[in-house]
Structure 1
Amino acid sequence: MSITIWGRPNSLNVHKVLWLAAELELEFKHIPAGQHYGLLDTEEFYQVNPNRLVPVLQDGDTVIWESNTILRYLAEVYGKDTLWITDPKARFAAEKWIDWYTTTVLPSFGVVFFNLIRQPEDKRDLDAVKNAAEKLEKILDVAELELSKQPYLSGQDFSIGDIPLALALNHWFNLDIERHHQHTYLQAWIERIRQRPHFLKIANVL
């Protein structure tokens, strides 16, 4: 096994891959790339991802980009005895939350995160943050309902369906913003996630 993960360590998409690799106790080489780390415009990186985006996974002769696809690959190839859900019906019921995060949560969360975490204070669009946060709270009601029925989005046990949203909500619940929804089950869920040995040391890198 010869695994390399390319990507800057403060990227939420890279966090997904680094966290899962740690959960699976894989040995891998991490090459920071992107933003001030550079490398994306090199010929070497172009050969692994012509989109010049991170993360990228190299596993021997196999090269995969797109963070959600990398999650699915690592779980199936290396997580058969741990995080891989063998029953297809249960697996896809869990994995839908991966894509739900990307298509539904991220557009609103991204506005909040970019302005309050990435932007200097004098450049923040607080009106955009307020509008996005209000929309996000309503969106999160969907996950709140699911977690009122089971301990994880993935079912009774933690799996890759929990990974993208957990990384986002770890920051969401730490932000000093006005909230109107309680989301008791989501808060309990993120506290369970934070107890996982590999989570905070990866998720809190900004």
Structure 2
Amino acid sequence: MLKIWGRTTSINVQKVLWCCVELNLGFDRVDAGGKFGVNTTPEYLAMNPNGLVPTIQDDGFILWESHAIVRYLSRKHGRGTLWPDDEKACADADRWMEWYSTTLWNNLRPVFWNLVRVEPDKRDMKLVEESRRKMADNLKMVESGLAGRPYLAGAAFTMGDIPMGVALHRWFLLPIERPGYPRLAAYYDRIKQRPGFAQHCAAPLS
């Protein structure tokens, strides 16, 4: 059975858990990272020298990096669903996953970290506001990208919607000013109806 190391409050672990529900995959999960430790042990570092979560083991195959894991599981178990048969739709989904990593997360992380995990008197509110503005500009691209389609890669939910879904959960729950993006709000409403999101990603921010 698939084994996953990672704490459930990690945004990166949540992507993998949600993916597993979409694919109807059973798994065993081990709490790791944060208050649970484990990720600094020699045994864990032998699997993942970064010392981060998640890490998976699938029939003896070890893999880390959340998007690599989502792609691997989608390609192996979700051809025609999370991994679209149409090559262009598949590339479109993959493009949004890359964009999340290279652009969106860089601006979301400082906002989330300061407002959720840093004590109020130690928060860098200048950085929060700068990052919030940048993320608002980033999401204008998503608003445009959703024109005429319910999901990022077209008519169907794909692997590309998983990173965006967990990011938007934070965007809409954080106590910040947000521009009115109606397509984005409707998209987030659709995302919230996914059982895997509801089960693993919809908790209050922590």
Q: TM-score under structure 2 normalisation?
A: 0.94
CA distance in 2, matches of 1:87, 1:9: 32
Residue 101 of structure 1 corresponds to 100
Greater CA deviation, 76-85 or 164-173?
A: 76-85
Residue 148 of structure 2 corresponds to 149
What is the Cα deviation at residue 81 of structure 1?
A: 4.9
What is the Cα deviation at residue 62 of structure 1?
A: 1.0
Residue 173 of structure 1 corresponds to 172
Say whether the 8 Å CA contact 2:21–2:195 is kept in structure 1: no
Residue 180 of structure 2 corresponds to 182
Q: State the AA in 2 paired with 1:186.
A: L
What is the Cα deviation at residue 80 of structure 1?
A: 2.3
Say whether the 8 Å CA contact 1:3–1:60 is kept in structure 2: yes
Residue ranges of structure 2 left out of the alignment (5+ in a row):
none
Residue ranges of structure 1 left out of the alignment (5+ in a row):
none
Say whether the 8 Å CA contact 2:17–2:196 is kept in structure 1: no
Residue 6 of structure 2 corresponds to 7
* Count of residue pairs brought into register by the alignment: 204
CA distance in 2, matches of 1:22, 1:155: 21
Say whether the 8 Å CA contact 1:154–1:160 is kept in structure 2: no
CA distance in 2, matches of 1:125, 1:50: 30
Residue 196 of structure 2 corresponds to 198
Say whether the 8 Å CA contact 2:112–2:174 is kept in structure 1: no
Say whether the 8 Å CA contact 1:57–1:63 is kept in structure 2: yes
**Secondary structure of 1:58 counterpart:** strand
**Residue 25 in structure 1 maps to residue 33 in structure 2:** no
Q: State the AA in 1 paired with 2:33.
A: G
CA distance in 2, matches of 1:200, 1:171: 14
RMSD: 1.3
CA distance in 2, matches of 1:37, 1:14: 14
What is the Cα deviation at residue 27 of structure 1?
A: 0.7
Greater CA deviation, 34-43 or 134-143?
A: 34-43
Q: State the AA in 2 paired with 1:113.
A: F
Q: TM-score under structure 1 normalisation?
A: 0.94
CA distance in 2, matches of 1:94, 1:41: 33
**Secondary structure of 1:171 counterpart:** helix
Residue 54 of structure 2 corresponds to 55
Q: State the AA in 2 paired with 1:194.
A: K
Q: State the AA in 1 paired with 2:181.
A: H
Identity %: 43
CA distance in 2, matches of 1:43, 1:67: 21
**Secondary structure of 1:151 counterpart:** coil
